[in-house]
Structure 1
Amino acid sequence: MRDFAGGRSIPIVALGTKDAWLALRLDDQLENRFQPFLLSRWGDDSETGRLLASFETVIPLREPSGLGLPALRRLIVERSEGLIGEMHQLLSSATAHALMEGRERIEECDLMNCFFQAPSHRRQMMERELRA
């Protein structure tokens, strides 16, 4: 892109999964401006464990939760369907749930009982509503 006032180029980067790319394809002008590079979903592996450990450093709880350890990591990946934005939402909801229960760490019960719906569940609910 060109800034007409100053003549500078400003790069624009759009990140997302295959669904984000499909959304860009709906508009020919947008599709022609981006070189696609698909991102995979996060899996139940050590790389995701490091990501979750970094999330844990900014969660406002006094005790460590061990989010990157296998048991919680697996549950987080399953519930979020491997999408980083969904992981953020899940962890935010689980943090609130833990605090309401009087705990200063996230436990499995917080990940299971907090208010969070997986993206596929939300999509199914919307499709049902659209068919009605």
Structure 2
Amino acid sequence: MLKKIPSILSPILVKILMEMGHGDELVISDANFPAERIGQRVVRADGHTVPELLKAILELFPLDKYSEYQYALMEVVKGDDVEPVIWNEYSEIIQQEHPDAQVKYMERFDFYKQSEGAFAVLITGETALYGNIIIKKGVI
């Protein structure tokens, strides 16, 4: 056991966060995301939500302040009558640690393409629609 590491973060996930370098990206995905097809490294966190994992990860993980954006969200597909209220929760969590963080909205297939190059994909049990987020690692 180690002190100050949120217990929701598995040893495998902590190892991946440690291995990531400046500018590397982590996808924290909802339960519907095609993680196994897209991800180079896939870590499962079934039974946990994106907000609780995002909050725990940001206790250890600096965001890249030198990038044009620090996190990315998948745009709502044209014709979907959905307002992803979970985005407000993500923004509140991120703003607590990184008040100047900028978001980038990506078209669905652009988000998938960006995810292919991510260091890892963390798949969760999140059921909120458009619950996927990409965070970009910074320096300490």
Compute the TM-score of the two structures, normalised by the length of structure 1: 0.22
TM-score, length basis structure 2: 0.21
Asked which structure has the greater CA Rg, the reply is: 1
Greater share of strand: 2
Answer 1 or 2: higher relative contact order, Cα 8 Å, separation at least 6: 2
